[in-house]
Amino acid sequence: MIRIFNQYVSLKTLLLIIFECILMSVALVCGAKLRFWDDPAGFDAYVRFPNFALQILLFVIVFQICLYYSDFHDLRTMRSHSEQWLCLGQSLGIGCILLALTYYVFPQLLIGRGVFFISMALLAAFVVISRMALEAAWHVAGPSQNMLVLGTHGLALTVANELARRGDLNIRLAGFVETGTGEADSLFGHPILGNAAELEAIAAAHRISRIVVAMEDRRGALPIRELVRLRVQGVRVEDAHSTIAALSGRVWLETVQPSWFVFSDGFHRSRLTWIAKRLFDLFFGCLGLVLSAPVMALVAILIRLDSPGPIIYRQRRVGLRGETFEVLKFRSMRTDAEKGGAAQWAQQNDPRVTRIGKYLRKYRFDELPQFLNVIRGDMSFVGPRPERPVFVEQLRKEISYYDERHSVRPGLTGWAQVQYQYGSSIEDAFRKLEYDLFYLKNMSVFFDFAIILQTIRIVISGHGGR
């Protein structure tokens, strides 16, 4: 198990992806070798660098993206072998279509028909065999880590609950260590192995490699000496709030202390990060505007034909450092949606939405004009979703740390948007803020790119819009 963007990621998933990338490359090389098995000179000419290397790179990237979007690597959900092979078949079929379109635009990357079909057959066989082999090997010799939770109250239960949700990780909860006196001998289905004075003996007996400190009040109760000894021996010691964030991808505001924000890693933004993020925004903003121009023209015509009123809707939103700006959207509601003058959150199956607006919101087409906001610098491509001033005034009174989300530019998409459903209440805003704070803690261009990939996946499936 390792961390990527400060989240726990399954080592098994990473190994699967690495093996598949290698096998995809091997499949293409073997396909060329079989196609030219009686013509060594033809094979040497075919695999000439760098053209063949680019063909392999494109081949691997396209099929890995297709496997990603079909959840083939999602080990958190148990699926039957038949479902996995159906998923694989769909991924390979879509990959062939995408490659055909790419070859039409870049014919110099075209793979010969014979080589392509042989490589596809080998690819399917290699992926199936590698998945089955890794499953068998992992079951026998997969590395696992034993975790010990120091604490037996609410924070400790939260750690155990979040760990139970992550069945894809190679972590086994050995049990709990109580810091006071108690009569229970188990908690959340796991044993209470002893008290803090026995921590070293417990860690040795159960081969503990990771200890999570989940104590609400540490004053005078934290076994500092024992933890130092174990830490020096190579046992990893973590704060519960950091562990929960790594397991869930969000900052748990119900339990976190202000000191955690001050002393925990993250929240670092160098000048180079800001420059790289702005260049990233300009590139994807311009690219998105160019690629979506035909779609936007069609949407504008449909809105005009569907209902009276303006095509573009302008609305004041709160952005960087609390300053307001006008966000641009395709109009998806009736012109009298707020005829009473009071701002309202959008609801599920909102009756104010027009006929075409229902589809615009479902597939996020109503937000395409915001590419202009990104290019102008009002927004970033990735960041916390901007809210209306009236809602911000209400939410900053109700939710601690709410104004911290205004320390960066708001985003066209964001970590909260891809992890949580569309918000329409204070409770939803609270949950989304937890994801926004996690993003602020781990903000980077690479994290932004990962969020964009997830956003494309959500747009294609139509989930999350209202």
> Which is more confidently placed, 124 or 351?
124
- Identify the residue with better confidence: 82 or 245: 245
Residues 167 and 134 in one domain: no
Provide mean pLDDT across the span 299-323. 91
Task: Select from 238, 243, 179 the least CA-distant residue to 7.
Answer: 243
Whether 203 is in a domain gets the answer: yes
Examine the domain organization and report whether 199 and 276 are in the same domain: no
Instruction: Give the CATH number of the domain where residue 165 resides.
Output: 3.40.50.20
Q: What is the mean pLDDT of residues 56-61?
A: 94
**What is the per-residue pLDDT for 465?**
46
* CA 333 and chain centroid, separation: 30
If one compares 185 and 345, the residue with the highest pLDDT of the two is: 185
Nearest to 163 by CA among 152, 155, 171: 171
Same domain? For 64 and 186 the reply is no
The answer to whether residues 44 and 171 belong to one domain is: no
| 244 and 291 share one domain | no
In a domain, 54, yes or no: yes
Based on the domain organization, do 231 and 149 belong to the same domain?
Answer: yes
Average pLDDT of span 151-170? 89
303, 330 in Cβ contact below 8 A? yes
Q: Which of 141, 174, 194 is the last residue of a domain?
A: 141
Give the mean pLDDT of the chain. Answer: 87
Residues 136 and 156 in one domain: no
| pLDDT, mean of residues 158-184 | 85
Q: Indicate whether 464 pLDDT > 60.
A: no
What is residue 147's predicted lDDT score, i.e. its pLDDT?
95
Q: Is residue 281 located within the same domain as residue 330?
A: yes
- Among 334, 369, 336, smallest CA distance to 355 is for 334
Q: Assess whether pLDDT exceeds 60 at residue 241.
A: yes
Q: Is the pLDDT of residue 290 over 50?
A: yes
244 domain-assigned: yes
pLDDT at 158 over 90: yes
pLDDT confidence of residue 119: 94
Question: Is there a single domain that holds both residue 52 and residue 109?
Answer: yes
Q: pLDDT tier at 466 (50, 70, 90 boundaries)? A: very low
Asked whether residue 258 is domain-assigned, the answer is no
* H helix or E strand, kind and range, residue 12: helix 11-35
Is 421 within the bounds of a domain? yes
Q: Confidence class of residue 96 from pLDDT cuts 50, 70 and 90? A: very high
Query: How confident is the model over 211-240, as a mean pLDDT?
Result: 90
Q: Count Cβ atoms below 10 Å from residue 254 Cβ, excluding itself.
A: 9
Q: Is the pLDDT of residue 218 over 50?
A: yes
Residue-wise pLDDT for 408-446, tens only, equals 999 999 999 999 877 678 889 999 999 999 999 999 888
135 pLDDT higher than 90: no
**pLDDT-based confidence at residue 48 (cuts at 50, 70, 90):** confident
Q: How many Å is the Cα radius of gyration of the chain?
A: 26
Return phi, psi of residue 354, to 5°: -75, 175
pLDDT at 346: 63
Does the pLDDT of residue 86 top 80, yes or no?
yes
Domain count, the chain: 3
The predicted model gives 343-367 an average pLDDT of: 77
> Is residue 52 over pLDDT 80?
yes
Of the listed ranges 15-29, 174-188, 311-325, 383-397, the least confidently predicted one is: 174-188
pLDDT of residue 463: 57
Contact 369, 298 (CB under 8 A): no
3-class secondary structure, 341: coil
Q: Do 27 and 136 fall into the same domain? A: yes
Range of the domain at 420: 271-335+345-461
* Rounded distance between C-alpha atoms, residue 107 and residue 406, angstroms: 46
Q: What is the pLDDT of residue 336?
A: 65
* Residue 292 falls inside a structural domain: yes
- Establish if 262 belongs to a structural domain: no
Q: What is the DSSP string of 185-250?
A: SEETTEEEEEEGGGHHHHHHHTT--EEEE--S--TTT--HHHHHHHHHTT-EEEEHHHHHHHHHSS
Specify the DSSP element, H or E, that contains 159: helix 154-165
Share of the chain above pLDDT 70, in %: 92
State the pLDDT confidence band at 210, using cuts at 50, 70 and 90.
very high
- Where among 141, 165, 199 does a domain terminate? 141
pLDDT at site 226: 93
Residue found under tokens 């949407």: 299
Domain shared by 330 and 421, yes or no: yes
In this structure, is residue 364 part of a structural domain?
A: yes
How many Cβ atoms are within 10 Å of 95's Cβ, its own excluded? 21
Say yes or no: 17 and 127 in one domain: yes
141, 169, 194 — which closes off a domain? 141
Structure confidence at residue 405 (pLDDT):
93
